[in-house]
Amino acid sequence: MNEIILGIESSCDDTSAAIIKDGYLLSNIIANQQVHKAYGGVVPELASRAHQQNIIPVVDQAIKTAGIRKEEITGIAFTRGPGLLGSLLVGNSFAKGFALVNGIPLIEVNHLQAHVLAHFINEKDKKNKHPQFPFLCLLVSGGHTQIIKVSDYFEMEIIGQTIDDAAGEAFDKCAKTIGLSYPGGPEIDKYAKDGNPLAYTFTRPKVKDFDYSFSGLKTAFLYFIRDRVKENPEFIKDNRDDLCASIQYTIIDILLNKLEKVIKETGIKEIAVAGGVAANSGLRDMLYELGKKQNLNVFFPEFKFTTDNAAMIAITGYHKFLKGEFVGQDITPLARMPI
């Protein structure tokens, strides 16, 4: 066959390019943007400027690492949305130009679908395990928290989702409250390993059906910390690990509680996790535990495929390429784009 897809990801603060050949990953290059660390969150204008600087070297490195020639690429896939418009525009413009110059088809990719389809990336000399259709995907990232029923590559139905903040946002905001750096998820994960998850309890939100809510928890955590610090200015320093373990445990407990309900309702026992929060070690441990108890097949993508990366864009593009789903030069990015 020799279908070679170049994938481009630029929806937020990572510039990434990847090459997939016949479903197998040849390279996946990611340039993180350190510029946002000082601001405690992503600054959109700085993100799009950094994408402009990074895109050409990142693509160049992806092609070199893959050991192919640019002329061998048969299709180019890019993230159309959802994401920051200025950031998306850089990847979108690059992909359009590349498609035009090289006379190859252009493929639009939904970033959220790509997080789900990261489960189908194959690597040479590895036996990557893939979930069987239909499966449930818990998509947990900085911007999204959804339970998705995946019946086929592009047949996805949202069963439940957050009505306010995303789980990753809850990690990031709670981390900020106790002075940890951005992004806070990995920081909380790190300190939680040495803490007691039951040291502090926080009330669980009451949301109907299979939906989530995290904004109340974030506020409860903020007030809790404020009150304790009034009594003891050293409270955060003295209890950092227990605070991290307890807030992490609460977020995971909320996530798994609803997931369990959906499993019961649908009878689906293939469970996949996607998005940046899938990197969380507590979530992995607790979901594997649940899997053992309930006879579930649990899938976590490899760490490098959980946070934003172009390998997931390229694999999604590859499956669209096989279906002949291409777009024209008039395509524009979308800040909002439903799954």
Could you list the residues that contact ligand KG4 (CB under 6 A)?
12, 141-143, 168, 171-172, 183-186, 189, 275-277, 279-280, 307-308
Ranges within 117-156 binding Zn ion (CB under 5 A): 141
**Residue 308 CB, nearest approach to Zn ion (Å):** 4
Which tokens belong to 86?
Answer: 């200025």
* Complex with Zn ion: residue 54 or 141, whichever CB lies closer: 141
* Complex with Zn ion: residue 113 or 141, whichever CB lies closer: 141
* Complex with ligand KG4: residue 4 or 245, whichever CB lies closer: 245
Cα(321)–Cα(1) distance, integer angstroms: 12
Beta bridge partners of 155: 152
Sheet holding 75-81, edge to edge: 106-110, 75-81, 4-9, 14-21, 24-32, 122-123
Ranges within 295-314 binding Zn ion (CB under 5 A): 308
Alpha helices (H) along the chain: 44-66, 85-102, 111-117, 167-177, 184-192, 215-231, 235-266, 281-294, 311-323
Cα(224)–Cα(135) distance, integer angstroms: 38
Q: Report the partner that residue 195 touches, choosing among ligand KG4, Zn ion, none (CB closer than 5 to 8 A by kind).
A: none
Do 213 and 166 touch, CB atoms closer than 8 A? no
Q: Report the partner that residue 301 touches, choosing among ligand KG4, Zn ion, none (CB closer than 5 to 8 A by kind).
A: none
Do 305 and 279 touch, CB atoms closer than 8 A? no
Q: Report the partner that residue 75 touches, choosing among Zn ion, ligand KG4, none (CB closer than 5 to 8 A by kind).
A: none
**Residue 277 CB, nearest approach to Zn ion (Å):** 10
* Complex with Zn ion: residue 169 or 308, whichever CB lies closer: 308
**Residue 332 CB, nearest approach to ligand KG4 (Å):** 20
In the complex, which residues of this chain contact Zn ion (CB under 5 A)? 141, 308
